């Protein structure tokens, strides 16, 4: 069974016309999944994350700042890239809450889940919103899995074209979480070097501008998937960014939707081998609407298979 978590509030986060992280992204994703081949998806309204959920990975000051920033009109800019509108705090609560609810569902009933939500999360550090991200959705999910389900080995696989610096920041000293990432370097946020290893639980594998399918698959097959197998995760979380696509405007890798199907199949197989098939994937980047839609469809189809 594949569960799809989303919420209409995630469309009400409106950073403004100059921002690539727009409501149109989620509309494109949901339209792509409104197709006969996805008719069996169990579509679930995402709940809000609680303050307790958020405080497992964020400071009280950070949580308070995000929840208190609710402009009556217009926007408030937190940094050069990260903007909040009237609906942003609610959207962020639903995005993080979707990941928490998905963890509870797969831990209780098995199966897999995809969280079609925004704002994305993997750049948000323990105390800072950045890179379009307010709360770190996948980190909230991982911390919840440890705290509420007693897991000892939670893996996070991140194939967004940008390094998940926030996730790395939060878990750099948490040996129960393995964070593995492929990403373009050099590129925002200027982190993700191979020598950034945490307590041995961080595995960064940079790709160079212009790299494509061959380099991406070789990197995962040779470096990242073996490390993931060796960790034997009890739950696999995925930061599913689709901005390494060749048509994405924010980076310079050359993947296609078939590469997202490929990596999803490999991750699904690892979850079947070690985690009773339990996978929770949450949407991160992807800024060409057609590329995003076709890539998400490939990703979700592979999770369903």
Q: Which residues are catalytic?
A: 123
* Residue found by looking up tokens 């050099």 in the block: 186
- Give CA angle at 243 (86, 161), nearest 5°: 105
What counts of helices (H) and strands (E) characterise the chain? 10, 10
How far apart are the two ends of the chain, measured CA to CA in Å?
10
Q: How far apart are CA 141 and CA 94, in angstroms?
A: 12
Spell out the residues 6+ positions from residue 169 whose beta carbon is closer than 8 angstroms to its own: 125, 126
What sign does the CA torsion over 100, 111, 2, 284 have?
A: positive
């Amino acid at each position: 069974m594949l569960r799809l978590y989303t919420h209409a509030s995630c469309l009400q986060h409106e950073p403004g016309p100059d921002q690539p992280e727009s409501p149109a992204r989620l509309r494109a994703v949901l339209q792509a999944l409104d197709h006969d081949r996805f008719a069996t998806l169990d579509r679930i309204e995402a709940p809000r994350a609680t303050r307790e959920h958020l405080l497992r990975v964020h400071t009280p000051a950070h949580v308070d700042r995000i929840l208190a920033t609710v402009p009556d009109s217009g926007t408030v800019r937190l940094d050069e890239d990260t903007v909040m509108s009237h609906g942003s705090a609610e959207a962020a609560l639903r995005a993080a809450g979707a990941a928490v609810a998905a963890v509870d569902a797969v831990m209780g009933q098995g199966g897999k889940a995809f969280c079609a939500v925004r704002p994305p999360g993997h750049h948000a550090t323990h105390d800072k919103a950045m890179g379009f991200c307010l709360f770190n959705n996948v980190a909230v999910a991982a911390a919840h899995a440890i705290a509420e389900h007693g897991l000892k080995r939670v893996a996070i696989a991140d194939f967004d074209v940008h390094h998940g610096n926030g996730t790395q920041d939060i878990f750099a000293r948490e040996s129960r979480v393995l964070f593995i990432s492929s990403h373009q370097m050099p590129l925002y946020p200027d982190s993700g070097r191979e020598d950034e290893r945490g307590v041995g639980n961080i595995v960064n594998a940079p790709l160079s501008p212009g790299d494509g399918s061959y380099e991406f698959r070789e990197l995962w097959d040779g470096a990242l998937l073996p490390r993931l197998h060796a960790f034997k995760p009890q739950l696999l979380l995925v930061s599913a960014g689709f901005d390494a696509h060749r048509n994405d405007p924010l980076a310079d890798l050359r993947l296609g939707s078939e590469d997202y199907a490929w990596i999803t199949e490999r991750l699904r197989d690892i979850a079947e081998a070690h985690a009773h098939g339990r996978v929770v994937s949450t949407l991160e980047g992807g800024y060409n609407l057609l590329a995003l839609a076709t890539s998400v469809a490939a990703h979700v189809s592979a999770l369903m298979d």
